[in-house]
Amino acid sequence: MRAVYPGSFDPFTPGHRNVVDRARALFDEVVVLVAVNSMKQPGADEEERAAAVRAILPVEWTSVTVVAWSGLTSAYCRRHEVGVIVRGVRNTTDLQAEYRLAAMNQSLGVPTVFLPAQPELAAVSSTAVRLLGR
């Protein structure tokens, strides 16, 4: 089964890498979908962010691909025959927001699998990484 792991990944954090690593153990193929989120103002466009993610992931992770995408995740899944969406959750606030998205995607025919953050990575967010980098 193919899975997609969508996100803005601005930037791609150790927590994101951990989710990809764990997802690739569960699924035949994992597509890291670097998405456009109209609610966010990323520091780079999706193609640049996708290139940055590719540079971080180990080359031996041959079952993982990175793709830039500007549409709905469910549309990508239908177009590319991806059976499930993977989402990482760090805390109950994440879970509440992700649950709403999962319900919408389920109604569009694509189920979501949640992977809880490893405890040592739960406090790491892209926002925090960006703020520390300034």
Residue range 33-62, pLDDT digits in tens: 998 765 666 677 889 999 999 999 999 999
126 is catalytic: yes
Give pLDDT, residue 37: 65
Which one of the listed residues 40, 78, 79, 80 is annotated catalytic?
40
| Statement: residue 123 has pLDDT above 50 | yes
Cβ atoms within 10 Å, residue 107:
9
| Statement: residue 130 has pLDDT above 60 | no
The domain total for the chain is: 1
Please give the residue range of the domain that contains residue 106.
2-133
- Is position 63 annotated in a ligand binding site? no
What confidence category does residue 134 fall into, taking pLDDT thresholds of 50, 70 and 90?
Answer: very low
| Statement: residue 23 has pLDDT above 90 | yes
What confidence category does residue 113 fall into, taking pLDDT thresholds of 50, 70 and 90?
Answer: very high
Residue 110 gets the label, from left (phi > 0), alpha (psi -120 to 50) or beta, of beta
Provide mean pLDDT across the span 60-75.
95
- Is position 24 annotated in a ligand binding site? no
CATH number at residue 51: 3.40.50.620
First to last CA, the chain: 40
